[in-house]
Amino acid sequence: MTGGGRLWGGRFGAGSAEAFDRLNSSLEVDRRLWPQDLRASRAHARMLGAQGIIPAEDAAAIDDGLERIAGELERGEFPFVPGDEDIHTAVERRLTELVGDAGRRLHTARSRNDQVITDTLLHLRERCEAQAGLLRELAEALLAQAEAHVDTLLPGYTHSQRAQPVRLAHHLLAYVWMLDRDRTRLGHAIAATADCPLGSGALSGVGFPIDREMTARELGFERPSPNSLDAVGSRDALIDYLHFAAQLGVHLSRLGAEIVAWAGDEAGFVELSDAFTSGSSMLPQKKNPDAAELARAKAPRLAADLAGLLGTMAGLPLAYNKDLQEDKAYLFDALDTVDLLLPAMTGMLAGATFRVDRMRAATEGGFLAATDLADHLVRAGWPFRRAHEAVGRLVRACLERGVGLEDAVPDDVAAAGLADVDMPELTAEASVEAKRAPGGTARAAVAEQLAAARARVGAW
């Protein structure tokens, strides 16, 4: 490719090396920005015409040409050529082929630096709005299962050891609150796309009487960006999105990991539908929780996308640097990953059958009521620390005989120094019902929480 064939060829005598072109080209990544690139270019050309910066006939010719190009791209007939460095140069090159000199006027009062971030913000906003809907569907699937399992009890765990019984609804709602905070972060990303960079030029602004309000409004932004250097040199909205995606990834990874454990033979707490599981090529009996495992595994990838862009931005001097071209690989990877994850998690959860009997059985035969017994002693006037110690002794006595707390005999009770205590009912039901303070797992508290979570998700 010779210097003269390029958008920027005038200054160059010799052509560029193929090895450089391969490194420098971003077309494979940014070609998907074409709908936004065409929209923004049409708005820009219309504004240039309206302001008398280019002749009205040229503005009209540009608009027709861009419309034809949209058709070509939509049908997959757009003739990309080897010198097309990115989607912006490809569109401008094609426009000039189609409409001649008018096409050469499109880039008046514009740089690829304000163009690329304008296109990217338009793309980001559309995708965020779609993902807000997907997030809501996932929250609703969790809410529906929670609603159905208010009276399903299972062990709650600390350190992967059975700790105290909880309602399954309570456990599932924990994830709804995580998603609620994710929705807030997604909202921050959407809000960060409000300022329109178009009209910032390469870095210092534009020396023509452009109407930035007009282009900002036409493209659905709230206002023109207030500082040209910041507008072309920052990627905060992308980082806000990647922060959302990374944190969502962590939440879905934890949920995925729990589903994997619950679906495993040892727990057997959940049966996943055939539609969201896969078989083994060798082991005929297998039904693998692949969706949950992949959700577990995507978190580091999303975190890496965030870390990648943060790393690219750190230390970058103002304003535009070619480093910024790397932003889109991280952004699109995260957007696509979230698009894959959310519907699969929603489908997997909606179709999951929780094994109520297995969960209930896992609350029995152990020491899940140990704290309840200590609380009972406290209510009878014992200091908590003494009660804790006495129940600990009882646990040890039971362990020595290989039985759970329900099967303690008077000798065990006496050995623990609790002979004079009249023992309370130590069922899982009594245990959950005792947790009546707000945010706890008693039926009324969970019902209240469910209503609050429904209202939150309804207001997203």
Binding residues for ligand ARG, rule: CB under 6 A, are 26, 30, 86, 112-113, 116, 320, 322, 324-325
Nearer to ligand ARG, 30 or 182 (CB): 30
Residue ranges in 351-427 assigned as alpha helix (H)? 356-362, 370-379, 384-401, 410-415
Whether 167 and 184 have beta carbons less than 8 Å apart is answered as no
d(CA 256, CA 248): 12
Is 234 considered catalytic here?
Answer: no
CB atoms within 10 A of CB 421: 17
Whether 197 and 227 have beta carbons less than 8 Å apart is answered as no
Whether 280 and 286 have beta carbons less than 8 Å apart is answered as yes
Secondary structure letter of residue 16 according to DSSP:
P
Nearer to ligand ARG, 319 or 374 (CB): 319
Nearer to ligand ARG, 2 or 321 (CB): 321
- In angstroms, what is the minimal distance from the CB of 24 to ligand ARG? 9
Give me the catalytic one of 159, 171, 228, 251. Answer: 159
Nearer to ligand ARG, 113 or 253 (CB): 113
Q: What are phi and psi of 283, to 5 degrees?
A: -100, 105
Nearer to ligand ARG, 30 or 412 (CB): 30
Residue 242 vs residues 49, 147, 306: alpha-carbon distances, Å: 37, 32, 5
- In angstroms, what is the minimal distance from the CB of 110 to ligand ARG? 11
Whether 352 and 148 have beta carbons less than 8 Å apart is answered as no
- In angstroms, what is the minimal distance from the CB of 150 to ligand ARG? 51
Secondary structure letter of residue 9 according to DSSP:
G
- In angstroms, what is the minimal distance from the CB of 368 to ligand ARG? 57
Lookup: tokens for 395: 């646990």
d(CA 298, CA 300): 6
Is 159 considered catalytic here?
Answer: yes
- In angstroms, what is the minimal distance from the CB of 203 to ligand ARG? 9
Active site residues per annotation: 159, 280
